[in-house]
Structure 1
Amino acid sequence: MFPFIELIFTFFLFLTLSSSTTAYRWRCVPEDRQILQDINKELNNTMSNAWLPDEDCCQHYIGVYCDSDTSRVNAIAFNGVPISRIPPSLARVPYLRQIFIHKIPGLTGEIPEFLSNLTGLTSLEISWTNVTGPIPRWLHRLPNLAFLVLSYNRLTGTIPPYLFDLPNLNWLRLDRNQLTGSIPEAFGRFKGNSIFLSHNMLTGPVPKSLAHIDWSQIELQWNRLIGDPSPLFNNRSKTLWQLDLSRNLFDFDLTAVQIPVDKLYRFDLSHNMIRGSIPKEMVNATSLGIFNVSYNRLCGGIPYAGQLLQFDNTTFFHNRCLCGPPLSVAC
């Protein structure tokens, strides 16, 4: 996801959380405050300046959010807090629905199983850390989970098929890890419309089951995927705006692929083994801002018109026999 889009998405989540702290009927529930103090002890008083014992945890504890009707703590965010482990008492917060752990490089070890006790959890983000191990098998015990972000970590192993049996999961990010194996066929049961698996070590073809999903964003770059992924975006989707398949081993004929250009902003197929020619409908992609087909095996004249006029020769070079402007090779 582009930084500005991610910022908007994070801001939306923040507004969702913040809105629940505007009108309290009661002060912080003593049970919740005591658990927060226990969390602080488990973190060696890391939160001592942010979670003062005598203050209202709903209004004054940084990173703590409460339900406006009950004043029960329902969300906790550890963003940039210098912690080295996830505190066990976090699983004791009875009405916790959202956990955000972001940009904490000192956080190591595996994602702890005690989080599976939070069966009401709807959002879980652990990103930009150094957590290791596989994607937890216990995630299937969280039936309400809708938002799962485990990107920018050091997770290993394969993508577990049971993730896609979660009945409410519609946002999933697994990019920037060290995941191996293939994309499971079970991904076709995913209820979201964005796939973020870039910068891993995934192999094999893209499952055919993914072709029926009306994708909005497809990020598969920097893997070792093979074959023909064009069914992903060959369905005349009206919502696709970002497609990045760069730096894989994809090998297919681009000539007859029907690229949905209505909302397309990013189109990057560079560093593959793609054959054929550039489809002429690319000149009709009026929102196109990023385009790259370099380092492939494409041939034929470049349809250098419309939005494609904004791109220089680096967008097209190192192909087998592409010709015409902006390249210096005449057709």
Structure 2
Amino acid sequence: MARHSLLLLAAAILAAAVVAASGCSPSDREALLGFRQALNEPYLGLFNSWTGSKCCVNWYGVSCDAATGRVTDVNLRGESEDPIFEKAGRSGYMTGKLSPAICGIDTLTTLVVADWKDISGEIPACITSLSSLRILDLIGNKFSGEIPSDIGRLNRLTVLNLADNTIAGKIPPSITQLTSLKHLDLSNNLLTGEIPENFGNLAMLSRALLNRNQLTGSIPVSISKIYRLADLDLSMNRLTGSVPFELGKMPVLSVLNLDSNSFKGLIPESLLSNGGMGILNLSRNGFEGSIPDVFGSHSYFMALDLSYNNLKGRVPTSLASAKYIGHLDLSHNHLCGSIPVGEPFDHLEASSFGFNDCLCGNPLKTC
């Protein structure tokens, strides 16, 4: 039995060696050359290696399946620790477009064309035909147009990163069909419209970054059903309405950035009493009422920012019992009364409490 297993292993190794020696699939090679022809990388010579038939062996950023010789990964990052970048002493720069030719590689699982600064044009609609795709990362370019409407066809996708481009239009409803998605970053684009109501269908999601867009409407309550969601950033949009209290009941959520929107109403107590919440930024909105007095020894905030709202009343006395508060900003509200005394406040400066109606006590003037 052992001898038979060794023979099988040797045969597999030999087959892989034969595939590697014979080069990649001719159709894959043709698709890669079409993809390369639409791009211009003038400084580092990364595409100088893209010659000959052995694209599985020597071509920069290309990886293949050892058994089949088919291309599986195209990984081109303009911000890299690769020796080529270190030797040149510069980051990457590339112009051109993302050619639909890349869609000819139907075995592609990873497509990364990231941080090249000047690649423009639209995302080819045929991208959604790559049914094996697990990672699509186009961050840091100048892609325009809209997210393909049938993006939901990529049901194996775990990472979708389109941040730092000029992509416009609405978030397509089909995006909620990406039930394997773990990381979603659409930040710093020109997206408009509302967050899809059934966003909560993305059950595997751990990070959702939609900040720095022009999104409108309210926060869908369905988001609170995403059990694994740890990081939610909706800041710097045009969102309105109240914040669902259900967000504070999420068991894993530790980072919540909702700053620079137009939210109103009361701050949900659940957001401040959640012992797992480490970074909470609700600044630059229209929140009213008092700050809920629900802190305790379970409270551990690396950053808590409630500045630039319409909050009234006193600074909660329970804040003094918090286990840790790294950064606190309650400035530019209408708070009044004495600042509580306690260890969490010992390192805070006057800027944390400035521009309120009548706060007093350390680090402000004596009451």
Check conservation: 2:180, 2:202, Cα contact below 8 A.
Answer: no
CA deviation after TM superposition for structure 1 residue 264, in Å = 2.8
Structure 1 unmatched ranges of 5 or more: 1-22
SS in structure 1 opposite 2:165? Answer: coil
Query: 1: CA distance between counterparts of 2:268 and 2:221?
Result: 20
Aligned identity (percent) is 28
Map of 1:291 onto structure 2: 304
CA deviation after TM superposition for structure 1 residue 245, in Å = 0.9
Structure 2 counterpart of 1:49, one-letter code: N
Query: 2: CA distance between counterparts of 1:68 and 1:319?
Result: 65
Change (3 A) 1:329 1:270: farther
Change (3 A) 1:321 1:139: farther
Check conservation: 2:263, 2:285, Cα contact below 8 A.
Answer: yes
2:117 to 105, 108, 113: 105
Alignment of 1:78-157 (within 5 A): 78-80=76-78, 82-157=94-169
Check conservation: 1:39, 1:88, Cα contact below 8 A.
Answer: yes
CA deviation after TM superposition for structure 1 residue 193, in Å = 3.5
Alignment of 1:166-185 (within 5 A): 166-185=178-197
Change (3 A) 1:319 1:193: farther
Check conservation: 2:269, 2:292, Cα contact below 8 A.
Answer: no
Structure 1 counterpart of 2:214, one-letter code: M
TM-score by structure 2 length? 0.74
Whether 1:307 and 2:324 are equivalent positions in the alignment is: yes
Change (3 A) 1:260 1:155: farther
Structure 2 unmatched ranges of 5 or more: 1-14, 79-92, 326-343
Query: 2: CA distance between counterparts of 1:181 and 1:268?
Result: 23
Structure 2 counterpart of 1:130, one-letter code: K
Check conservation: 1:140, 1:163, Cα contact below 8 A.
Answer: yes
Map of 1:66 onto structure 2: 64
Cα RMSD (Å): 2.7
1:40 to 36, 53, 57: 36
Query: 2: CA distance between counterparts of 1:326 and 1:230?
Result: 34
TM-score by structure 1 length? 0.81
1:229 to 219, 243, 246: 243
Change (3 A) 1:233 1:116: closer
Structure 1 counterpart of 2:305, one-letter code: N
Map of 1:20 onto structure 2: none
Alignment of 1:151-300 (within 5 A): 151-191=163-203, 192-214=205-227, 215-235=229-249, 237-254=250-267, 256-259=269-272, 261-275=274-288, 276-281=290-295, 284-286=298-300, 288-298=301-311, 299-300=313-314
Query: 1: CA distance between counterparts of 2:57 and 2:245?
Result: 50
Structure 1 counterpart of 2:107, one-letter code: Y
Map of 1:12 onto structure 2: none
Greater mean alpha carbon deviation, residues 296-305 or residues 203-212: 296-305
CA deviation after TM superposition for structure 1 residue 316, in Å = 4.0
SS in structure 2 opposite 1:223? Answer: coil
Query: 2: CA distance between counterparts of 1:325 and 1:227?
Result: 35
Query: 2: CA distance between counterparts of 1:134 and 1:223?
Result: 18
Query: 1: CA distance between counterparts of 2:58 and 2:211?
Result: 38
* Count of residues in correspondence between the two structures: 305
Q: Deviations over 1:82-107 (max 9, x none)?
A: 13101232111231111011112221
Check conservation: 1:143, 1:168, Cα contact below 8 A.
Answer: yes
Check conservation: 2:231, 2:256, Cα contact below 8 A.
Answer: yes
Check conservation: 2:285, 2:309, Cα contact below 8 A.
Answer: yes
SS in structure 2 opposite 1:257? Answer: helix
Query: 2: CA distance between counterparts of 1:329 and 1:68?
Result: 73
Whether 1:52 and 2:47 are equivalent positions in the alignment is: no
Map of 2:330 onto structure 1: none
Structure 1 counterpart of 2:259, one-letter code: S
Query: 2: CA distance between counterparts of 1:324 and 1:284?
Result: 25
Query: 2: CA distance between counterparts of 1:256 and 1:87?
Result: 50
CA deviation after TM superposition for structure 1 residue 293, in Å = 1.4
Query: 1: CA distance between counterparts of 2:119 and 2:186?
Result: 17
Q: Deviations over 1:129-156 (max 9, x none)?
A: 1111122113233332232111111111
From the CA coordinates, give the structure whose radius of gyration is larger: 2
